[in-house]
Each structure stands twice: as structure tokens, then as C-alpha cells.
Structure 1
Amino acid sequence: MTASIAASMVILAVLAGAQGPAAAETAAPFSRPLYLEADTDASRAQTRLLAAGDPAGAAAMGQIAAQPTAVWLGEWWAEPLMRSKLRRHVAAAAAQGTTTQGSTTQGATLVFVTYAIPYRDCGGHSGGGTTYEAYLDWNRVIAEELAGTGAVILVEPDSLSSLAAAKCAGEVERRPALIAQAVGILADAGLATYLDGGNSNWLGPAAQAVWLQRAGIDRATGFFTNVSNFYPVQQESDYAGKLSSRVGWKHYVIDVSRNGRGWTGTWCNPLGAALGANPRPTAGTTKLDALLWVKHPGVSDGPCNGGPNAGVWWDEYALALVANRG
């Protein structure tokens, strides 16, 4: 059995088994195809490898470049540049569409990740963020530019799960309330928001539910799991179903960008990791709304296992993810 067939069988099993109350609801945020960004690290690497006389490497890199990935938004862009980039993505998504059996679907679903929470990563590899005073205004810019687009916003990966760690003790009181305010701003603009649901090997559904409730899950569309991590779809879906039951049967999405071989011993640039299933919206008959590539395959987790700093593109790792997929 090939890796792709096996992955498809796992996904079908998940979709058949992830039922809960009101499972017949349609997940409106993902009613259109996912937006495919034209200019990404992967597409640039593909061009570079082809120009360097490495057609095999370029073809392998093309397997990443051909798939939709979430667009990350952070404090690294000043407001005018962020507005410009958001407008460019909105225009590009509006122009995308698919034609099947004679009918055309116009437009694509934009998926963004907000990643600017103050004291991000609480001093870890992915440190940064805005100031507390600037954070809500930063979210208002996003809301203004994306209002009416039907975009999906994955709000601040790791922001809630990490609050259980001692290094984040100073954020326990103020961060959930700040996220709840941001969710309100984004939801008021008609945007679908998903909050940090951790993963199946972190806090557990009961503890994670408390953080989600404190951070405004009642106003959010749902939560996400497995972002930048490696756990299998079935394991994540089992966990997410338990978490959903504790937060009003909210919907969820799973990051499958690098979980093709599951957990291989570490979260930071693990050797042997592989691309997961290609991202796609699910059928809309369960609480699982979509399988997404949130983490960009090929972006380093940090200076470990020979990798560059967190957030930096790494050709060799990207190619290894493709090769390990089989």
C-alpha cells in the first residue's frame, strides 16, 4: 500500500468516526477551495533548484509549492505593508476558482494565522510579538482589511497551551482576556476564528477546555490542533472530539503539514518527519472542518538538528519531508 493511499484511508476513517451532536451542520468557512499562494518559500526554492540544474530537486519541492498553506501574519510587517499584503491576498483569492462537471466555483478560502501575541513563546525559540498596547489595534487592521471576505483566522498558535508552563506564568491572567478581545474584533468583521487547541500529547482535553473558555471560544468558530506538530490525524481527531464536547461542540481543524510519519521523538526539526496528507476542506458532516498545512513544510522550528533559526526556510529539510513521504 502506498503512503498516499494509506493516508486517504486514515482520513476517510476519521471523517466517518468524528461524529458528535449536530454533526450534520455544514462548515461554511470552508465551502470553497483553499487559497493557493503563488509566491512562497517553496515556489521560490523550486525555481532556484531548477535554475541550478537540479530538476529532480525542483520537482520534489514542487510537491510542497503546489499545495495551499496558511498565510502567517506577525509584527514583522509595519501596518502599511501588512495592509498591502492583505489586499493582495484578497484579490488573488477572489480570482481563484475551480471548475468541475461544468460548474465553476469562484473564489477561494483564505486561511491566515495571527502570530503577534505579546511575549510570544514566553522566551522560547519563536519569541516576539507586539506590545500589549498595540495588539488589539493590530487585530483591528486585519479585521478592516478582511471584512466580508469569509477568511479563516487561526488565532495565535501555542498561545493558550503554553500558559500551563512555568515560563508563561506572568501571562496567565492577561493573555486569555486579550485573546478574547481579539476574537471579538475578528468575529465582528464576519471572520471565522479558530483558537489554540494544543495537540493530543499536551495538556489534555479537560485542561485545554478551560483555557479555550477563558479565551472566548463561545464567540469563535472553533479551535485548531497539531499546529507545527506531528501527531497522526486519527489521534488528533480523537482528542479534538473530546475537547469539542467540553466547549459546546465547537468545530476544529487539524494541521497535517508534517505528520506523515507521526511523532518521531522531538518537536524541533525531527529527523524522519514526512509531509502529511494534502490539505483540503472536509465534507462538512463532522466537527472536523478541514485538514490544513498551517506550518509551512521546510520552515525551521529553531536551531536544532542542524536547522537555522525558527521561521527561516531550509531547503534540505523541505526535501527530506518530501522524500520521507514515500
Structure 2
Amino acid sequence: MTVRARRARTLAAVVAGAALAAVCAALPASAHTPPPVPAHRSAALYTPPANAQAGPQIADLLKQGQVRDAAGVAAMVRTPQAVWYTGGTPDQVRASVDSTVTAANRRHQLPVLAVYDIPGRDCSQYSAGGAADTAAYQAWIDAIRAGIGGRPAAIILEPDSLALLPSDCGQDDAQGSRTADRYAQIRYAVHALEPLSRTKVYLDAGHSGWHSVNDIVPRLVAGGIDEASGYFLNVSNYRSDDELAWYGTLVSSCLAYVAGGGAAADCPNQWWPQDDARAWLIANVHTAPAAMKHFVTDTSRNGQGPWTPPAGVYSDPQDWCNPPGRGLGARPTLDTGNPLQDARFWIKIPGESDGQCTRGTAGPADPERGYQDPAAGAWFPQQALELVHQAVPPLLPTR
């Protein structure tokens, strides 16, 4: 992160903090006193500076007298979230990671780092970019490692890297060399980051509405899951907590079965009847949960579950792209109550756009919204308010 960018984020944090103070002063005491928050939800996880445009939105809402909405956006950006690293030179990323991990360490908090610079990122679509080649990527990963040092960190390693391979989007050659390179790049990152004494690395396993268990497990194995702490689910998506927990149980169980010499094709997947799947697991998987691969989920925007597009309206509904009517999900925590689930994180930054969604139309407007969405990663004020209003559980105390 450049000096200019750091200054912008610092300014945004100051603006957001000042706006929140004004919000709290304006609300009656019963309204601005938040419900009790267990220590594991806030004290244990790091909250980075807010998006630079969140503070101005909060201030604008206050000017309009929309005090409760301002409080909601302020509470959203003050909830622990991931810090994304999407490029820059090795020196820049090393310094930025060191700054983040240092700030978290001073507060005795765990930072969640979303590492997102794989060559050919996002099949050159909305979040296109990434390192120029394998050598550049390895140097960049080495810089991430140097920035972390021996301090605690949770690594979300390359969203969509395994669920969206070059071979999935027609970008591979006849020999499959780009997909082979992708697996080698992920394995390199695991080798570099997982051995750090207080770091856990999680690999991409997409989500429960995408690949079958039978398809994603071999990808995880090829990406080096045997040396990683586990895998992540639902980054930037909207699948429900119960659905993700079941899918994660099936993926972890299948990984254990494959590690014991079984074939992923034999495992039950998320579309099996659950009673049949449970019976198969009882008969075939005898590994203790502590010895299995664990998972984490992104609950930043899944409070209302996935969006169901209107039937027959769009040639490409893009149900993952700024869907209307979604809400914030369960708050981040390291205490999930599930022996296979290490955490619920807010990985995708709520309030930041998924991209300019046209849903198969000529655009440029998003036909579900009637206006053009912001570019990927830009602040989306309308969506920020939707997420606050539709949050499950509610973000603010009920009136």
C-alpha cells in the first residue's frame, strides 16, 4: 500500500470515527447502547481502517437527519473484517502487511489477510489482474511472509483460485500448463506461509452452490491442502450458514477419506439426501474432527441467503454480483460451536461493490437496480444501506 493510500485510509478512519461519535451523541441513550458483544467476537479479531468513502456516507446521512442509518453504517465498518492485498511491489506489500500485523498485535487481535494476486486472477473478469508470472508471484508471496514474521495471522489464500481454474474459463492451453502452474503457485504459497509459527492458511473451496464435493476435493488436494490448515467457503457470496456447515462437513470428511486412500468420486456430495450422506460418513470416515481439515466461512453478506433471480428474465443473471435485498450475516467469531469450523469471518468488505453488473444485457445499467453499479471494490452506498437494513441478526438494537 502506498503512503498516499495509507493516508487516505487513515483519514477515512478519522472521518468515520468522528461521524460515529456524532451519531452516538444524537441518539437517545437506549438507542445507541449496543447489545452485549461476547469478547471472542470483537476483542479477538482485528478491524482495519474503513473504506475511504464510508466516512463521507456516514457524514452525509447525518446531514440528512438519518441518524439510525448513519449509526448502522458506522457499526458495519467497525466490525472486524479482512484486509485485502491485491498487488503492489514486494517492498510495498511487505511494509503494508507488517503495518497491519503490527497494529493487530498491539491490540492482541488476529488479523485476517485476504491474499489476492494470483496470475490470471478472476479469469480476467471483474477483478482482473494479478502477478505477471510465477516468479513475480513467488517474490510477492515471499514479501507477505516477511511482513507477517512470527506473529499471528489467518490467511485467506487466493479467492477463486481453485474454484475458478484457467481450464474453467477457456484460458488454458492444450497441455493444461496454466492450470498446472496455478496449482504450483498455490502450493508455493502454502509452503511459504503455513510454516510460520502462528499463521494458518486456508485454501479456496468456492461455496456450496458451485462445485460438488467430488469436484472440489481433488482441486484442494492438488493445491496442497495436506500442508494447509484448511479451506475457506463463500467468499463474496451469499450461501446460508446451515448450507455452508453441511457442505464443509462433507468436504472435510471427503478429504479425510481421500487421505486414507479413498476416491473423491465415491464421497457423498451436497445434493445427496442428507440421511444417505450421514450413513455413508458413519460407515467410511473414522477420523476425529481434530485431525481433519477445518474450514472458515465468509458471513459478511449472507444474512438473507442467496438471491433467486426472476425466471427467464436474464441470459446471465449474475446472482453473485451485487444482488438486491441482501443483508449482513452473523458477526465474525472464532467460537463457532462446530468442531470443523475454525471461524466465521467478514472476508468480503461489506459495502464494496462486486462490479458493474449487467446480467447479460447491453448495460451499462444494472437492470435489477436501474442504475450503473460502481466498479469492483468501490464503495456502494445504496448496497451498504441494504446490508445494514436487512442484517440477520440485526446490526443495531431494535427500536
Answer whether TM exceeds 0.5 for this pair.
Answer: yes
Q: Is the 8 A contact 1:42 1:64 kept in 2?
A: no
Question: Is 1:111–2:112 an aligned residue pair?
Answer: yes
Is the partner of 2:164 in helix, strand or coil? helix
Stretch of structure 1 that moved more, 188-197 or 79-88: 79-88
User: Structure 2: how far apart are the matches of 1:66 and 1:42?
Assistant: 14
Per the alignment, residue 273 of structure 1 pairs with 326
Alignment of 1:137-148 (within 5 A): 137-148=139-150
Per the alignment, residue 173 of structure 1 pairs with 180
Per the alignment, residue 241 of structure 1 pairs with 249
Per the alignment, residue 343 of structure 2 pairs with 290
Per the alignment, residue 187 of structure 1 pairs with 194
Per the alignment, residue 79 of structure 1 pairs with 90
User: Structure 2: how far apart are the matches of 1:36 and 1:193?
Assistant: 19
Q: Is the 8 A contact 1:253 1:291 kept in 2?
A: yes
Per the alignment, residue 314 of structure 1 pairs with 380
Question: Quick check: which has more Rg, 1 or 2?
Answer: 2
User: Structure 2: how far apart are the matches of 1:157 and 1:207?
Assistant: 17
Can you list the C-alpha shifts for 1:163-198, whole angstroms capped at 9, x where unaligned? 262334353221011100111011232321000011
Letter matched to residue 213 of structure 1: V
> Paired residues, what number?
286
User: Structure 1: how far apart are the matches of 2:82 and 2:69?
Assistant: 23
Q: Is the 8 A contact 1:299 1:312 kept in 2?
A: yes
Q: Is the 8 A contact 2:57 2:381 kept in 1?
A: no
Letter matched to residue 270 of structure 1: P
Per the alignment, residue 239 of structure 2 pairs with 231
Per the alignment, residue 62 of structure 1 pairs with 74
Per the alignment, residue 130 of structure 1 pairs with 131
Per the alignment, residue 162 of structure 2 pairs with 160
Stretch of structure 1 that moved more, 201-210 or 43-52: 43-52
Question: Is 1:255–2:298 an aligned residue pair?
Answer: yes
Tell me: CA distance 1:43–1:94, structure 2 relative to 1, closer, same or farther (3 Å).
Answer: farther
What is the deviation of 1:50? Answer: 5.6
What is the deviation of 1:45? Answer: 4.3
User: Structure 1: how far apart are the matches of 2:76 and 2:93?
Assistant: 25
Runs of at least 5 residues in structure 2 that lack an aligned partner in the other structure: 1-40, 257-291, 309-318, 358-365, 367-371, 395-399
Structure with the bigger percentage of strand: 1
What is the deviation of 1:143? Answer: 0.4
Q: Is the 8 A contact 2:336 2:344 kept in 1?
A: no
Q: Is the 8 A contact 1:42 1:65 kept in 2?
A: no
Q: Is the 8 A contact 2:94 2:146 kept in 1?
A: no
What is the deviation of 1:42? Answer: 6.9
Tell me: CA distance 1:168–1:68, structure 2 relative to 1, closer, same or farther (3 Å).
Answer: farther
Per the alignment, residue 311 of structure 2 pairs with none
User: Structure 2: how far apart are the matches of 1:168 and 1:159?
Assistant: 13
What is the deviation of 1:47? Answer: 4.8
Q: 2:100 aligns with which of 64, 76, 89?
A: 89
Letter matched to residue 164 of structure 2: S
Is the partner of 2:389 in helix, strand or coil? helix
User: Structure 2: how far apart are the matches of 1:285 and 1:47?
Assistant: 36
What is the deviation of 1:60? Answer: 1.8
Give the structure, 1 or 2, with the largest relative contact order (CA under 8 Å, sep 6 or more): 1
Is the partner of 1:289 in helix, strand or coil? strand
Instruction: Tell me the TM-score normalised to structure 2 length.
Output: 0.68
Is the partner of 2:183 in helix, strand or coil? helix
What is the deviation of 1:82? Answer: 2.3
User: Structure 1: how far apart are the matches of 2:78 and 2:355?
Assistant: 25
Q: 1:150 aligns with which of 130, 136, 152?
A: 152
Tell me: CA distance 1:284–1:185, structure 2 relative to 1, closer, same or farther (3 Å).
Answer: farther
Q: Is the 8 A contact 2:114 2:155 kept in 1?
A: yes
